[in-house]
């Protein structure tokens, strides 16, 4: 119970830091979105804290075993937030399009409760149906990334509708750029936590990133490196060095695709992609 409270408190701190950055950038829409999420997390913390208090009262001296046995078990913490809000938390942390497996892994590493990838299977379709039935009724929608060539939904990649169109488009180099960018953002999230109590899933996630970025690991590996702390400074430097090689080309590709999308797609298609039957036509139009 207490570790879930700790995770929620850490998330509240992350949101507060993000709100300050958004305020400095004068991004009022992002501030409002982050404030709404902070309020939801606060409500979840309040509910979980109340459950912890009830548990302590049941275990206090003088309370009979029958009373404790009769009280229903508290719900699992992961039921406090709907799956779409849990996905939104992870995507806000990563700030890049992500596949369900990565979303689940990051959620396990930095947030309370489990988020099975199978729960995300129908989420995008539900979001599109909701948008088409009442456009703009929700503060955000979970939508697919769009391919830069066909402007069609990218298979298995989720984004947030409040991101810029350029941020939601994937080009030939975007997979690597997004991998490196998410490595930096995950390193930032880990740095805000206590290194001595960093959960094992978070350490394992950081280790996998370090293994796939040249120069992100020390030349001499420590034994049992999956449990050993990752050198965040080395990881960040290696990711930033490689990003400089790909960012300009990737940004150009996505910017050109975004301009084409704005001239050819309606509001719904800008979020969820153009119809498949028109994909070849969209690609051919200058």
> Which residues are within 8 A (CB) of 108 and not within 5 positions of it... i.e. 6 or more apart?
114, 115, 201
DSSP bridge pairs for 98: 158
C-alpha to C-alpha distance for 103 and 209, rounded to whole angstroms: 14
Does residue 258 contact residue 151 with C-beta atoms inside 8 Å?
A: no
Q: What is the pLDDT of residues 131-147, one digit of tens each?
A: 999 998 999 999 999 99
- The per-residue pLDDT of the chain, averaged, comes to 82
Is it the case that residue 153 has pLDDT exceeding 80? Answer: yes
**Average of pLDDT values for 74-97?**
79
C-alpha to C-alpha distance for 13 and 74, rounded to whole angstroms: 25
C-alpha to C-alpha distance for 59 and 255, rounded to whole angstroms: 60
Place of tokens 């704005």: 262
Cα first-last separation, the chain: 57
pLDDT of residue 14: 72
pLDDT of residue 75: 44
Burial degree of 248 (CB within 10 A; 0-12, 13-18, 19+): exposed
Q: How many CB atoms lie within 10 A of CB 25?
A: 10
pLDDT of residue 202: 92
Q: Using N-to-C axis directions, what is the helix angle for 123-133 and 83-94, rounded to 10°? A: 100
Sign of CA dihedral 18, 19, 25, 27: positive
Q: What is the pLDDT of residues 48-62, one digit of tens each?
A: 677 666 665 555 555
Is it the case that residue 252 has pLDDT exceeding 70? Answer: yes
pLDDT of residue 33: 73
Is it the case that residue 124 has pLDDT exceeding 60? Answer: yes
> By three-state DSSP, how is residue 170 classified?
strand
Is it the case that residue 67 has pLDDT exceeding 50? Answer: no
Burial degree of 143 (CB within 10 A; 0-12, 13-18, 19+): buried
Burial degree of 247 (CB within 10 A; 0-12, 13-18, 19+): middle
Q: What is the pLDDT of residues 175-224, one digit of tens each?
A: 999 999 999 999 999 988 876 778 889 999 999 999 999 999 987 665 55
Place of tokens 């050198």: 231
C-alpha to C-alpha distance for 137 and 118, rounded to whole angstroms: 26
Q: Could you tell me what percent of the chain has a pLDDT over 70?
A: 77
**Average of pLDDT values for 257-280?**
84
Binned at pLDDT 50, 70 and 90, residue 284 comes out as very low
Cα pseudo-dihedral 90, 95, 101, 106, rounded to 10: -50
pLDDT of residue 236: 96
Q: What pTM, to 2 d.p., does this model score?
A: 0.69
Place of tokens 């998410």: 182
Would you give the DSSP letter of residue 198? -
Binned at pLDDT 50, 70 and 90, residue 121 comes out as confident
pLDDT of residue 53: 62
Binned at pLDDT 50, 70 and 90, residue 13 comes out as confident
């Amino acid at each position: 119970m207490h570790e879930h409270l700790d995770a929620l408190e850490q998330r509240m701190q992350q949101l507060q830091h993000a709100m300050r950055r958004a305020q400095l950038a004068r991004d009022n829409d992002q501030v409002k979105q982050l404030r709404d999420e902070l309020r939801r997390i606060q409500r979840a913390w309040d509910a979980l804290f109340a459950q912890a208090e009830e548990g302590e009262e049941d275990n206090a001296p003088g309370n009979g075993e029958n009373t404790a046995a009769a009280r229903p078990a508290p719900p699992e913490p992961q039921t406090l937030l709907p799956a779409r809000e849990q996905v939104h938390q992870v995507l806000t942390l990563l700030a890049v399009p992500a596949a369900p497996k990565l979303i689940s892994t990051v959620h396990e590493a930095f947030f309370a409760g489990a988020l099975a990838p199978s729960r995300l299977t129908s989420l995008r379709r539900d979001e599109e149906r909701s948008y088409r039935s009442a456009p703009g009724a929700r503060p955000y929608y979970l939508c697919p990334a769009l391919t830069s060539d066909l402007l069609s939904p990218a298979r298995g990649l989720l984004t947030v509708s409040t991101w810029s169109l350029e941020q939601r488009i994937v080009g030939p180099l975007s997979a690597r750029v997004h991998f490196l960018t998410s490595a930096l953002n995950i390193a930032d999230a880990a740095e805000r936590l206590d290194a001595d109590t960093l959960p094992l899933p978070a350490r394992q996630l950081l280790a996998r990133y370090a293994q796939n970025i040249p120069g992100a690991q020390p030349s001499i590996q420590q034994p049992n490196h999956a449990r050993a702390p990752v050198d965040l400074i080395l990881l960040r430097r290696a990711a930033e060095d490689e990003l400089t090689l790909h960012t300009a080309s990737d940004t150009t590709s996505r910017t050109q695709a975004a301009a084409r999308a704005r001239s050819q797609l309606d509001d719904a298609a800008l979020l969820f992609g153009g119809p498949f039957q028109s994909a070849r036509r969209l690609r051919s139009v200058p």
